[in-house]
Amino acid sequence: MCSRISRLNNVLSQHKWAKHTGIAIFILSFFTYLSHFTLKYGLNVPPSTTGDETSYDSIGWELSHGNGFSRNFNNPVFRIPYEQTAANNPMLQPLPHQKSGPTTVRPPLFPLLIAATDYILGRQFWAVRVINTLAIAATCGLVVHALLHLAGVLPAFTGAFLFVVIDFHTRLYARAVLSEAITCFLVALFVLALFKVAETQQKRWIIAAAISYALAILARNIMVLWSPGLMLLVYLLLRKNRRNAIFSGFLFIGTVLLTMAPWMIRNCVVLHSFMPMGTQGLTQLPAGYSDIAWEHQGVWQNLDSRDFFKGVVTEQMTTLESELARAKFSRKKTVDWISHNKIRAIGLAPLKVFHEFRPYTWSETVIFLLTITGLLSLKNRQEGKILLGILFINLFAVAITWSVSGRFLTPLLFVFHVAAAMGAWKIVIWITEKKARQPG
């Protein structure tokens, strides 16, 4: 029996304006976010000096002045807004002084965007926040676009509500000077491209998925760990024609490598070592495999604050020599620890997954439960299998690295919200149809 709300959804979805809903939601959410940030926080205030934001900001500033991919917290012009803010608010920590020079710790895409805004507009923070807001709003628009095709207008509006109002991550990372917002948008693009691969079997969509995925890696290093799983997923989507499926898998990874080649070659050249993804992942390996990791059940800990690298780096080392020394030391310590703690190393995997995926707030709990419901409702559709596949691929990446208490789930906002909206719609249909069957 078809309920009234289901019939209403069918009618609304057939209107000619319905196909433009995604664009309308994108525009509306963009101005909603921007107004909220402007009124509550201000767009041009410096970020916190205690996280990763200042590192991205510094690399972008150096790039905009032709100093290469390097970090320099000691640049007096770069320091001005941080020092002014700290002077006006003694509770804030001042920007530290650090050794300056080239770096391979951060991926390049987000610093390049910051560099472009600094080069065109000078020293500021508002432009990159506008870019991040555009990326999050565009992700919301793509969630709505996907839901329109999966279920119609009302589920699409439900998805927009969950994305903008319920999920605080969208507001947090649209404002932060971090790469999560850009990564969310790129993941949305390559998941939609995979939808088209499943639907059309066309090579152009495989190439589109590969390029957007490669750019996501260039925004966040951990995304590289998705590569084996995505190759398998492409193969499974095309497995009816085995030869075509194998060729498509190699086409996918070949396009990814070609897109990333300049960055990978640069890292190997400057480090004089085969480290195509730079040193960040290697340096942090003990955060996932060590007594420290076991003590904290695989949740990432700041190794520097625990003097883990004491004696590894000397004052005479350049920044690249320091990064290389830390990476080699971490790799050796990790291999040694795993060889002597095989059972613990295996036991850390489910702990990392648990701490990454478990909800920490009521809003995360709501979205998590709706996501499970939505994935169950989509279990017989190719789109649902792709969404579930992406979740398991990310689960694998967390299991072999470390947990950051949910932050590694942020790139999956598109996946979660498409599934969550479908879950909410499934519940609404079940309730309304149950009422419709009741007599009287």
pLDDT tens per residue, range 239-275: 888 888 899 999 999 999 999 999 999 999 999 999 9
Which stretch of DSSP H or E encloses residue 102? Answer: strand 101-102
Cβ pair 104, 267 in contact under 8 A = yes
pLDDT of residue 51: 84
Question: How is residue 299 annotated by DSSP?
Answer: B
Phi and psi torsions of 400, nearest 5°: -100, 0
What pLDDT band is residue 439 in, cutting at 50, 70 and 90? low
Question: How is residue 419 annotated by DSSP?
Answer: H
Q: How many degrees, rounded to 5, is the angle at CA 118 between CA 113 and CA 124?
A: 110
pLDDT of residue 260: 97
Give 167 or 90, the one with higher predicted confidence.
167
pLDDT tens per residue, range 98-132: 889 999 999 999 999 999 999 999 999 999 999 99
Say if residue 2's pLDDT is above 70: no
Cβ pair 47, 53 in contact under 8 A = yes
- What residues are paired with 299 via a beta bridge? 403
Give 305 or 290, the one with higher predicted confidence.
290
Say if residue 15's pLDDT is above 70: yes
pLDDT of residue 141: 97
pLDDT of residue 19: 83
Say if residue 337's pLDDT is above 60: yes
Cβ-defined contacts of 280-285 (< 8 Å, 24+): 280/104, 280/105, 280/106, 280/221, 281/221, 281/222, 281/401, 282/327, 282/328, 282/330, 282/331, 283/105, 283/323, 283/326, 283/327, 283/330, 284/330, 284/401, 284/402, 285/330, 285/331, 285/333, 285/334
User: 311: alpha, beta or left, given left = phi > 0 and alpha = psi -120 to 50?
Assistant: left
Closest to 259 in 3D by CA, of 301, 212, 294: 212
User: Mean of the pLDDT values across residues 133-152?
Assistant: 96
- Strands (E) in 149-262, as ranges, are none
pLDDT of residue 12: 84
pLDDT tens per residue, range 347-370: 999 999 999 999 999 999 999 999
Q: Which residues contact 325 (CB under 8 A, 6 or more apart)?
A: 312, 313, 317
Q: Could you state, in order of their start, the residue ranges of all structural domains in the chain?
A: 183-278, 280-340
User: Mean of the pLDDT values across residues 320-328?
Assistant: 95
CA gap 220, 217 in Å, rounded: 5
Q: Indicate the SS3 state at residue 400.
A: coil
pLDDT of residue 308: 92
Specify the range with the lowest mean pLDDT, choosing from 122-126, 204-208, 294-298, 314-318. Answer: 314-318
pLDDT tens per residue, range 24-66: 999 999 999 999 999 999 999 999 888 899 999 999 999 999 9
What pLDDT band is residue 433 in, cutting at 50, 70 and 90? confident
Model-level pTM?
A: 0.95
CA gap 324, 292 in Å, rounded: 22
CA gap 226, 420 in Å, rounded: 22
> For the chain, what percent of residues have pLDDT higher than 90?
84
Taking each helix axis as running N to C, give the angle between helix 168-175 and helix 126-150, from 0 to 180 degrees, rounded to the nearest 10: 150
CA gap 339, 331 in Å, rounded: 12
pLDDT tens per residue, range 123-138: 999 999 999 999 999 9
* CA quadruple 295, 296, 301, 306: dihedral, nearest 10: -30
Q: Indicate the SS3 state at residue 153.
A: helix
User: Mean of the pLDDT values across residues 379-393?
Assistant: 95
Using the structure block, give the residue that is written with the tokens 């903008």.
164
Joined tokens for residue 361: 């707030």
What mean pLDDT value characterizes the chain?
93
What pLDDT band is residue 346 in, cutting at 50, 70 and 90? very high
Say if residue 440's pLDDT is above 60: no
pLDDT of residue 212: 97
Say if residue 89's pLDDT is above 90: no
Which stretch of DSSP H or E encloses residue 433? Answer: helix 413-437
